[in-house]
């Protein structure tokens, strides 16, 4: 098994920069997730590792081998596409065998390798079926078996779950993660579903406009986002714009706020909704205790979002847990919101 290293990898289409200066080291056996909005360069990055797109600049190594200019079939990577891309006229067995034939695996070994791969995804009893005779989740598992059949060093998954309904998505998600851990195979998965990313990954990479914004664990990204983009893309945040100076901050609407940051000048505070405390009266000895009016209440069953307007310019969303004794505010109620000075602050 082997890790993967991308060094200053760029892909330009004419003037357009699909990815720029991507530097990434993926450890042996790691499950890395690429996360980001549509068009940010996730698929492009994955396809460069697989060899279907050639970088304009930079280099890619798999283990000790520089694969930058090697064709896909000379790399030890198995790719599962955004759509399953099974051949409709081939059986499950033949679909999995196809990848092995492409890689010139001796004929005598193919049947056994196909069976082993189908066993891994628990579909060995359906080898003679055609894709149309399978459910979406089963088709997705065939695609996975096809990618794993030749025992690649690196598994590349491009939104493998996006065509499945919510229940199946949960099941296949667990299956992929279990299989990946059992095989100890280095895996890069692309998704724009942040719940999927947070629950499956060892480490996450957030991309935007072709560039890496932040790399880290779930906690790094959620608790210590390094930019407004990451704070808004991973989880949710309310933002207060204003000016910072000497551990003080004044919002656009003129509210004084205590911050735990030495930033000076135009800045923005990011507030996680579950970290805002909501009360009917001012809380004693609490910094950042501000009055406001409930503008909107959004009921989600277990949780309730309370949108609070502080003034014409400033607005926050507090999230409360829906317990037996929860006092759910109503629209137009006067409330007080407070939060810790340690909330993230970014320069604008």
Ligand X SMILES: Nc1ncnc2c1ncn2[C@@H]1O[C@H](COP(=O)(O)OP(=O)(O)OP(=O)(O)O)[C@@H](O)[C@H]1O
The binder of ligand X chosen from 170, 192, 313, 315 (CB under 6 A): 192
The answer to whether residue 54 forms part of the interface with ligand X (CB under 6 A) is: no
Instruction: Give 193 or 220: the residue with its C-beta nearer to Mg ion.
Output: 193
Shortest spacing between CB 38 and Mg ion, in angstroms: 7
Residue 246 is classified by DSSP as T
- The closest of 250, 258, 206, 197 to 228, measured between CA atoms, is 206
The rounded Cα 287 to chain-centroid distance in angstroms is 34
Question: Rule CB under 6 A: which of 197-216 touch ligand X?
Answer: none
Contact segment (CB under 6 A) with ligand X among 37-45, 66-74, 253-261, 263-271 equals 37-45
159 contacts 82 by C-beta, under 8 angstroms? yes
Compute the Cα dihedral for 256, 321, 232, 223 and give only its sign: positive
13 binds, among Mg ion, ligand X, none (CB under 5 to 8 A by kind): ligand X
Q: Where are the alpha helices (DSSP H) in 4-122?
A: 42-50, 92-102, 107-120
113 binds, among ligand X, Mg ion, none (CB under 5 to 8 A by kind): none
235 binds, among Mg ion, ligand X, none (CB under 5 to 8 A by kind): none
216 binds, among Mg ion, ligand X, none (CB under 5 to 8 A by kind): none
Burial of 26-51, coded b for 16+ CB within 10 Å and e otherwise, reads: beebbbbbbbbeeebbbbbbbbbbbb
Question: Rule CB under 5 A: which of 31-50 touch Mg ion?
Answer: 43
Residues across the chain: 348
The binder of ligand X chosen from 30, 42, 48, 197 (CB under 6 A): 42
Contact segment (CB under 6 A) with ligand X among 40-48, 123-131, 163-171, 340-348 equals 40-48
110 binds, among ligand X, Mg ion, none (CB under 5 to 8 A by kind): none
> Could you tell me the strand order of the sheet in which 334-338 lies?
277-279, 334-338, 289-299, 303-309, 315-321
The answer to whether residue 238 forms part of the interface with ligand X (CB under 6 A) is: no
Strand 4-13 to 16-26 pairing: antiparallel
Instruction: Give 193 or 274: the residue with its C-beta nearer to Mg ion.
Output: 193
Would you state the structure tokens that stand for residue 276, as one six-digit string? 């805002």
Shortest spacing between CB 9 and ligand X, in angstroms: 12
Instruction: Give 81 or 249: the residue with its C-beta nearer to ligand X.
Output: 81
Q: How far apart are the first and last CA of the chain?
A: 43
Element housing 96 (H / E): helix 92-102
The binder of ligand X chosen from 39, 71, 184, 245 (CB under 6 A): 39
Residue 280 is classified by DSSP as S
Would you state the structure tokens that stand for residue 190, as one six-digit string? 């692309």
CA dist 244 and 259 (Å) reads: 8
The answer to whether residue 180 forms part of the interface with ligand X (CB under 6 A) is: no
Instruction: Give 19 or 43: the residue with its C-beta nearer to Mg ion.
Output: 43
38 binds, among ligand X, Mg ion, none (CB under 5 to 8 A by kind): ligand X
The binder of ligand X chosen from 24, 32, 35, 44 (CB under 6 A): 44
Shortest spacing between CB 209 and ligand X, in angstroms: 9
Site residues, ligand X (CB under 6 A):
13, 16, 18, 36, 38-44, 192
Site residues, Mg ion (CB under 5 A):
43
């Amino acid at each position: 098994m082997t890790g993967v290293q991308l060094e200053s990898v760029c892909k330009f289409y004419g003037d357009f920069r699909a990815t720029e200066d991507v530097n990434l080291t993926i450890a042996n056996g790691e499950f890395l997730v690429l996360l980001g909005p549509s068009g940010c360069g996730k698929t492009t990055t994955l396809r460069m590792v697989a060899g279907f797109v050639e970088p304009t600049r930079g280099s890619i190594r798999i283990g000790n081998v520089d694969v930058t200019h090697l064709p896909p079939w000379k790399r030890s990577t198995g790719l599962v596409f955004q759509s399953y891309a099974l051949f409709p006229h081939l059986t499950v067995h033949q679909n999995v065998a196809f990848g092995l034939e492409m890689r010139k695996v001796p004929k005598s070994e193919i049947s056994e390798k196909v069976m082993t791969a189908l066993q891994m995804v628990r579909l060995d009893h359906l080898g003679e079926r055609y894709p149309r005779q399978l459910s979406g989740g089963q088709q997705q598992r065939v695609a996975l078996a096809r990618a794993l059949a030749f025992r690649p060093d690196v598994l590349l998954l491009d939104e493998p779950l996006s065509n499945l309904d919510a229940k199946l998505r949960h099941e296949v998600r667990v299956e992929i993660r279990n299989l990946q851990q059992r095989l100890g195979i280095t895996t890069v998965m692309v998704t724009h579903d942040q719940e999927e990313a947070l629950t499956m990954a060892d480490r996450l990479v957030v991309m935007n406009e072709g560039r890496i914004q932040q790399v880290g664990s779930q906690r790094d990204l959620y608790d210590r986002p390094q930019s407004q983009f990451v704070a808004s893309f991973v989880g949710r945040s309310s933002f207060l714009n204003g000016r910072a100076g000497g551990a003080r901050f004044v919002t656009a609407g003129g509210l004084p706020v205590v911050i735990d940051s030495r930033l000076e000048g135009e800045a923005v505070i990011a507030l996680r909704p579950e970290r805002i405390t909501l009360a009917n009266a001012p809380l004693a000895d609490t910094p950042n205790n501000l009055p406001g009016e409930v503008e909107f209440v959004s009921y989600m069953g277990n949780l309730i979002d309370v949108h609070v307007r502080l003034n014409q310019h400033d607005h926050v969303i507090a999230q409360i847990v829906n317990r037996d004794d929860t006092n759910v505010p109503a629209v137009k109620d006067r409330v007080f919101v407070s939060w810790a000075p340690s909330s993230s602050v970014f320069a604008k």
